[in-house]
Structure 1
Amino acid sequence: MNTGDWLEISVHVDGEAAEAVSEVLNRYGRGGAVVEHLLSTGLGAHDDADQWAVKAYIPTGDLVTRRQIEEALWHLGQLYPIPEPVFSVLTENDWAQAWKAHYSVLRIGRRTVIVPQWQSYAPQDGEVVIVLDPGMAFGTGTHPTTQLCLVALEERISPGMSVFDVGTGSGVLAIAAAKQGARAVRAVDVDEIAVATARDNVAVNGVADVVHVAAGSWEKASGQYDLIVINILAEVICSLLEQGLADALKPGGTLIASGIIDDREAGVRAALTESGIEVVGRHVERDWVALVGLKHERKAAG
């Protein structure tokens, strides 16, 4: 083993645990986490199996980070059924190729296309092309929660809107909003790596004059917005709504909430209703749900 070798950490989980595990591996892995859908194949496999491989990479000699990952996954295992991680050693070249092998041109919805930065692509008329450096932060388009948001954005965004992206990750949703005509987009994330990654991706896509990326959460809102998009775990969505996230949404404005596993949908719906937001749309991909809500208009006095 030489100093250029990398350690691949791989965890196979179901859809509900995949996002939670990716959050852990994003925190410690060099370049974030890869989330790969495992198609059910072979005898005895269930056609509706929702299995994911979540992977991250660290230098083989980084024993401290390996221990931190093991401890974090153990604690997470108290909430979700998570198997032991599998560790594999890769050379520097193998690591680089393995990283890129997980990504190719991805078409989502009617016209959104995500292109890895190292690939060339000739856009077709009407397509919204987003160039990303995948893996640096959660939200590169491969996970259903991100795809549901992108589909909902296609339906709900209008030119001239102001948009607030809470938990921006790679910046993909903020970039999509800007490229579909948003006048101003504010994107926030509590993770510093995500903030740096989002800023890089915003610059690569030529929308830095529209998208402003900042560290923090919903308290970084600047006034009220026509549209808020939030792609985080269901319990975090509920918590932010309880804290007053809906105050950052204009009356009559749209909120798109994703990252909701289906058995947590009722709780999110209740939190939206409590915040004065009526659910008017629902998008589903396997076990994941995205809800679209409208904030009630203020009633005129008298």
Structure 2
Amino acid sequence: MKWSEICIHTTNEAVEPISNILHETGASGLVIEEPLELVNMEDTPFGEIYELDPNDFPDEGVRIKAYLPMNSFLGETVAEIKQAINNLLVYDIDIGQNHVTLSEVHEEEWATAWKKYYKPAKISEKITITPTWEQYTPVDSDEIIIELDPGMAFGTGTHPTTVLSVQALEAYLKEGDTVIDVGSGSGILSIASVLLGASEVHAFDLDDIAIKSTTINAKINKVDNKIIAKQNNLLDQVNKKVNIIVSNILAEIIVRFVDEAWDNLEDGGLFITSGIIQGKKQLVFDRLKESGFEILAINEMEDWISIIAKKTL
């Protein structure tokens, strides 16, 4: 079978929504190329292990690549993708150059092209993420290894929004805590929570493929007995009292369920939010304060923000 590689030159802010658009239209093998990845490779306190070619990365902005089957519907699918991306302007999302190109690839290239970007990476003091097909030997005795198979549909766990979330969990999660993961994706935050000591995690995602991916990766890491993955729209109809709610999702989505997060947290519980672009920091900050949360910390990485808030009465 022949495949078409779609490449979209856009901005960091648009990565999450465009990735979701590609996923919803049936694209596979998502790859994100951004020049800051090369900076991370050379300047990091955690020593990520990357094998990256600078020629694969844009001078500015971000390139998102994915693969579509070459069939009679390809033209319609590409048109649908372009329209959906243009519609992001309605939500005040900067889509940058929004230059879209197509190129033909063969099946064997499609099956392996995206994997070359995914190598073991130490993303916090304790946690290293490694793909299931890579051999990795721990460097430290207390190193926590998360094996991840993104299923060709979700991130590899090294994006700044995920790194900020994991680092916050490592800093604040206590042994025996209960956790809700809103928008679980591949399940990395749910898995990290258990490996850091959580007794139980409820993982929610609107996408049933995400729930399957969370379940598969939980089994790979032998933590499926502590992770309950369920399809759900944010925290709609959820009534659980937990110690931590973590959500790596768009700022515009976070502000929609702040009150529900408050209701599902124990007194003194923490709401860890990530996926927030610099320009939307105040939006989330103000919404959290409005609902009564105390802001404990605001952490930054590249153009991204993570906010840790506490439920205080």
Q: Provide the secondary structure at the position in 1 that maps to 2:14.
A: helix
Cα distance in structure 2, aligned partners of 1:201 and 1:33: 18
Cα distance in structure 2, aligned partners of 1:204 and 1:81: 36
Which 10-residue stretch deviates more, 182-191 or 11-20? 11-20
Report matched runs for 1:1-302 at 5 Å.
4-31=1-28, 33-39=30-36, 51-61=61-71, 62-63=73-74, 64-77=76-89, 79=92, 80-82=94-96, 83-123=98-138, 124-134=140-150, 136-216=152-232, 217-219=234-236, 221-242=238-259, 244-296=260-312, 298=313
Check 1:137–1:163 CA distance in 2 against 1; reply closer, same or farther (3 A cut): farther
Alignment match, 1:44: none
Q: Structure 1 residue 40: deviation in Å?
A: 9.4
What is the letter of the counterpart of residue 67 of structure 2?
Y
Check 1:40–1:294 CA distance in 2 against 1; reply closer, same or farther (3 A cut): closer
Alignment match, 1:45: none
**Conserved? CA contact 2:13–2:95, under 8 Å:** no
What is the letter of the counterpart of residue 115 of structure 1?
T
Percent identity over the alignment?
37
Cα distance in structure 1, aligned partners of 2:186 and 2:268: 28
The number of residue pairs the alignment matches comes to: 286
Normalized against structure 1, the TM-score is what?
A: 0.89
Q: Structure 1 residue 159: deviation in Å?
A: 0.9
Check 1:268–1:199 CA distance in 2 against 1; reply closer, same or farther (3 A cut): same
Q: Provide the secondary structure at the position in 1 that maps to 2:99.
A: coil
Q: Structure 1 residue 50: deviation in Å?
A: 6.1
**Conserved? CA contact 2:151–2:213, under 8 Å:** no
Cα distance in structure 2, aligned partners of 1:220 and 1:147: 29
Check 1:106–1:164 CA distance in 2 against 1; reply closer, same or farther (3 A cut): same
Check 1:66–1:284 CA distance in 2 against 1; reply closer, same or farther (3 A cut): same
What is the letter of the counterpart of residue 12 of structure 2?
G
**Conserved? CA contact 2:147–2:220, under 8 Å:** yes
**Conserved? CA contact 1:38–1:53, under 8 Å:** no
Deviations 1:80-120 (CA, angstroms, capped at 9, x unpaired): 33423111111011111212112010110111111111111
What is the letter of the counterpart of residue 237 of structure 1?
I
**Conserved? CA contact 1:35–1:143, under 8 Å:** no
Q: Provide the secondary structure at the position in 2 that maps to 1:197.
A: helix
Which 10-residue stretch deviates more, 4-13 or 59-68? 59-68
Q: Structure 1 residue 58: deviation in Å?
A: 1.2
What is the letter of the counterpart of residue 12 of structure 1?
H
Unaligned 5+ runs, structure 2: 39-58
Cα distance in structure 2, aligned partners of 1:40 and 1:228: 28
Cα distance in structure 2, aligned partners of 1:110 and 1:146: 14
RMSD: 1.9
Alignment match, 2:51: none
Cα distance in structure 2, aligned partners of 1:50 and 1:207: 39
Cα distance in structure 1, aligned partners of 2:283 and 2:267: 23
Unaligned 5+ runs, structure 1: 42-48
What is the letter of the counterpart of residue 226 of structure 1?
N
